Amino acid sequence: GMKVERLKRRFDEMAQIGATERGGVHRLALSDLDREARDLWTHWSEEAGFKVRVDDFGNMFARLEGNFPEKKPIVLGSHLDSVPKGGKFDGTLGVLVGFEIIESLQEKAEDLSCPLEVAVFTNEEGARFPTPMLGSGAITGVFSKQHVYDMQDDDGKRFEDELKRIGYQGEEKNRLKEVEAFIELHIEQGPLLEAREKPVGVVKGIQGLSWHRVQFIGESDHAGTTPLEHRKDPLLSAVKAISRINNWIHRLEDETLVTFGKFDTLPGSINVIPSEAVFSLDIRHPDHSVLLDRVETVKHLIREVALEDDTQSLCEDLSFMPPVAFDESLIDTLRESCRANEIDYLEMFSGAGHDAMYIDRLGKTVMIFTPSQAGKSHCEEEETDWEDIEKALRVMHDNVARLALT
Amino acid sequence: GMKVERLKRRFDEMAQIGATERGGVHRLALSDLDREARDLWTHWSEEAGFKVRVDDFGNMFARLEGNFPEKKPIVLGSHLDSVPKGGKFDGTLGVLVGFEIIESLQEKAEDLSCPLEVAVFTNEEGARFPTPMLGSGAITGVFSKQHVYDMQDDDGKRFEDELKRIGYQGEEKNRLKEVEAFIELHIEQGPLLEAREKPVGVVKGIQGLSWHRVQFIGESDHAGTTPLEHRKDPLLSAVKAISRINNWIHRLEDETLVTFGKFDTLPGSINVIPSEAVFSLDIRHPDHSVLLDRVETVKHLIREVALEDDTQSLCEDLSFMPPVAFDESLIDTLRESCRANEIDYLEMFSGAGHDAMYIDRLGKTVMIFTPSQAGKSHCEEEETDWEDIEKALRVMHDNVARLALT
Ligand SMILES: NC(=O)NCCC(=O)O
Ligand SMILES: NC(=O)NCCC(=O)O
- pLDDT one-digit tens code per residue, A299-326: 999 999 999 999 999 999 998 999 999 9
| Separation of CA B236 and ligand 2 centre (Å) | 30
Total-model pTM: 0.89
- pLDDT number for residue A379: 87
Q: How far is A351 from chain B (nearest CA, A)?
A: 4
* Partners of residue B248 in chain A, C-beta under 8 Å: none
- Which atom of ligand 1 has the smallest separation from the CA of A353? 9
* Mean pLDDT of the residues in chain B: 96
pLDDT confidence of B379, banded at 50, 70, 90? Answer: confident
Cα–Cα distances (Å) from B218 to A4, A224, B214, B273, in that order, read: 37, 31, 13, 9
Name the nearest CA neighbour of B382 among B5, B26, B7, B3.
B26
Q: B246 at the A interface (CB within 8 A)?
A: yes
Checking if the pLDDT of A369 tops 80, the result is yes
**pLDDT tens sequence across A176-230:** 999 999 999 999 999 999 999 999 999 999 999 999 999 999 999 899 999 999 9
DSSP per residue, A141-179: TSS-HHHHHH-B-TT--BHHHHHHHTT----GGGS----
Per-residue confidence band for A402, with pLDDT thresholds at 50, 70 and 90: very high
Residue-by-residue DSSP string for A222-255 = ETTTS-GGG-B-HHHHHHHHHHHHHHHHHHH-SS
Q: Kindly report the nearest CA distance between residue B33 and chain A, in angstroms.
A: 21
Instruction: Specify the pLDDT at position A115.
Output: 98
For residue A348, what is the enclosing H or E element? strand A345-350
pLDDT of residue A130: 85
Give the pLDDT band of residue B406 (cuts 50, 70, 90).
confident
Mean predicted confidence (pLDDT) in A238-242: 98
Is there a contact between A378 and B220 if contact means CB atoms under 8 Å apart?
yes
Distance from C-alpha of A141 to C-alpha of B383, rounded to nearest angstrom = 54
> Is B288 annotated among the ligand-binding residues?
no
Dist CA A2 CA A397 (whole Å): 8
Integer Cα distance of B294 and B212 in angstroms:
13
What per-residue confidence (pLDDT) applies to B125? 94
Do B138 and B93 contact (CB within 8 A), yes or no? no
A window 91-150, beta carbon within 8 A of B: 126-127, 132
Q: What is the mean pLDDT of residues B343-357?
A: 97
CA atoms within 13 A on the CB side of A101: 33
A256 pLDDT band, cuts 50/70/90, is very high
> Which amino acid belongs to residue A278?
V
Nearest C-alpha neighbor of B402 from the set B61, B4, B94, B113: B113
Q: Which tens digit of pLDDT belongs to each residue from A12-28?
A: 999 999 999 999 999 99
The whole-number average pLDDT for the span A82-86 is 92
The residue with greater pLDDT, A377 or B187, is: B187
- Distance (Å, whole) CA A332 – CA A340: 12
Say how far apart CA A68 and CA A75 lie, in whole Å: 15
In terms of Cα–Cα distance, which of B79, B289, B93 is closest to B187? B93
Grade residue A69 by pLDDT with cuts at 50, 70 and 90: very high
Q: What is the mean pLDDT of residues B179-204?
A: 97
What's the pLDDT score for residue A70? 96
pLDDT score at A368: 98
B281-308 pLDDT, tens digit per residue, is 999 999 999 999 999 999 999 999 999 9
Distance CA B359, CA B377 (A): 23
Cβ(A315)–Cβ(A212) below 8 Å: yes
Whether ligand 1 lies within 6 angstroms of the CB of A356 is answered as: no
Q: Locate the ligand 2 atom nearest the alpha carbon of residue B284 and give its number.
A: 9
- For B352, the closest of A191, A222, A230 (CB atoms) is A222
- Asked if the model's pLDDT at residue A140 lies above 80, the reply is yes
Give the residue from B392, B374, B346 showing the smallest Cα distance to B198: B346
> Residue A406's pLDDT band (boundaries 50, 70, 90)?
confident
If you average pLDDT over every residue of chain A, what do you get? 96
Q: What is the pLDDT of residue A218?
A: 97
Task: Calculate how far, in angstroms, residue A133's C-alpha sits from the geometric centre of ligand 1.
Answer: 8
Which residues of B are less than 8 Å from A126 in CB distance?
A: 271
Task: Give the chain A residue nearest B208 (alpha carbons).
Answer: A224
**Cβ neighbours of residue B2 under 8 Å, at least 6 residues apart?**
B100, B101, B104, B393, B394, B397
Give me the pLDDT at residue B333, please. Answer: 98
Bridge pairing between strands B345-350 and B200-206: parallel
* CB contact at 8 A, A20 and A85: yes
> Could you tell me what percent of chain A has a pLDDT over 70?
100
- The answer to whether A382 and A86 are in contact (CB under 8 A) is yes
- Other CB atoms within 10 Å distance of the CB of residue B141: 10
Which DSSP string do the residues of A280-341 spell out, in sequence order? EEEEEESSHHHHHHHHHHHHHHHHHHHHHHT-EEEEEEEEEE--EEPPHHHHHHHHHHHHHT
Distance CA(A108)–CA(A102), nearest Å, equals 10
Note whether B191 and A226 are within 8 A (CB): yes
CB B262 within 8 A of CB A265: yes
| Strand duo A324-325 + A200-206: pairing | antiparallel
B43 is in an annotated binding site: no
Q: Say if residue A3's pLDDT is above 90.
A: no
For residues B124-129, give the mean pLDDT: 93
Q: What is the mean pLDDT of residues B50-65?
A: 97
Between B217 and A221, the more confident residue is: B217
Q: How far away, in angstroms, is B354 Cα from ligand 2 center?
A: 6
pLDDT at A381 over 80: yes
Which H, E and C letters describe B97-114, residue by residue? HHHHHHHHHHHHHHHECC
User: For atom 6 of ligand 2, which residue has the closest CA?
Assistant: B353
Q: Is the pLDDT of residue B2 over 80?
A: no
Whether B284 and A223 lie within 8 Å, measured CB to CB: yes
The pLDDT score that the predictor gives to residue B130 is 85
State residue A323's pLDDT score. 97
How many whole angstroms separate alpha carbon A76 and alpha carbon A330? Answer: 13
Nearest-CB residue to A224 (from B127, B191, B352): B352
Question: Rounded to an integer, what is the distance from CA B241 to the centroid of its chain?
Answer: 28
CA angle B394, B395, B398 (to 5 degrees): 85
- For B173-250, strand residue ranges (E) read 181-187, 200-206, 208-217, 221-222
